[in-house]
Structure 1
């Protein structure tokens, strides 16, 4: 299991819409920005866009992955660097500026969840602080609860 694997990233809706992202970036540039955010949540290292640890994509490879024109991608990457949203590190690794300050919620949520197995054998995950607000408390009391320290993977055969 890869401990650096994220299932979601956090986006601050009002800060994005009313903040600098919409002021500084046009629609195409925002598309590249959000694509990079998603890629930065994938292994091997959160906050970095890379194929493998320490090895980034060439612009041509990244354009292929993002299904976009190389020239437009270069222009968008230059703009993202200019406005301070990314840095290009050695070997074409793209670093999302301030990643840790914006994505710390992922680790907090991941460690503060409760799992519940329903009658239909599905697994429901709830934040611990909301556990008292679940409407069917009797159902919860009759099924095991599991403290989650890391992601759970369920495979159906």
Structure 2
């Protein structure tokens, strides 16, 4: 993946509590320097915040000491401090990842998903408004003979406007939910697949977005777990190469949960509470 030519740094970066805590340390200048160098290195690698020489060779502390031209002990201290503060993640295979990298940087795939989701929501809203307008015209047509508008009709129109506003709020919340969780799903899948160069195809982004519209995050994660756990390669070395392979597994789990939920409703004669739903998902091995 080609490196990016710039990275984003907020102007209030040094107002952050973690940065202020680092400022109180004896090695603060070195840690700040290495933090900036890691951000730049992540931009050069351009793999969703991961830092490595290539996909098969992670940077060692000795290599970073040479590249950053800083003592080895200083590099070790900086990495430990940044990891303790949750600013970087140190994987078992020695890969380094900048935490929340794609939330702060311009990730093309994420931007495409956001734009597609916004367009889809806007289209859905326009359709809803058309249906509401059509319903209003039909109502007006049937009342053309009437000389005045009754209070009941006024209240009814107010109710329709309230419903339309509620629909807009619900769709805004849905859009925010997708934006907040799509990165989590992608990162989780990549950790299972053992890949760091995240280059999702548009169809894969669309699949994640589609699933998030109807399936809880933890159910999606369980589906990913099951897909990798039960995968049977056709030949030695074959691996799951696309997130879309996990989709039917995820939908099957979600469908089974819904079937059980409907069964409980039928037995009880009413809808289950949120607590009951959580207990059922926990019984499935899914923590919500």
Same fold (TM over 0.5): yes
Runs of 4+ in 1 over 4 A off after TM superposition: none
Q: Which structure has the higher relative contact order (CA within 8 Å, separation 6+)? A: 1
Q: Which residue number in structure 2 is paired with residue 24 of structure 1?
A: 21
RMSD: 1.7
Q: Which residue of 1 aligns with 2:3?
A: 5
TM-score for the superposition, normalised by structure 2:
0.34
Shift of 1:28: 1.4
User: Structure 1 residue 56: deviation in Å?
Assistant: 1.0
Aligned residues: 104
Deviation of 1:44 (Å): 5.5
Query: What is the TM-score normalised by the length of structure 1?
Result: 0.61
Question: SS at 1:13's partner residue?
Answer: coil
- Superposed, 1:3-82 pairs within 5 Å as 4-14=2-12, 16-25=13-22, 26-43=28-45, 45-82=47-84
Distance 1:18 1:63, change over 3 A: same
User: Mean alpha-carbon deviation: is it higher for 18-27 or for 50-59?
Assistant: 18-27
Distance 2:53 2:72 in 1: 18
Unaligned runs of 5+ in 1: 109-157
Q: Please name the residue that 2:182 is paired with.
A: none
- Larger fraction in strand: 1
Q: Which has the higher helix share?
A: 2
- 1:95-126 deviation per Cα after TM superposition (whole angstroms, max 9, x unaligned): 0000010113x646xxxxxxxxxxxxxxxxxx
Q: In structure 1, what is the Cα distance between the partners aligned to 2:6 and 2:18?
A: 20
C-alpha contact 1:10 1:103 (8 A) present in aligned 2: yes
Q: Say which one has the larger Rg.
A: 2
The alpha carbon displacement at 1:21 in A equals 4.4
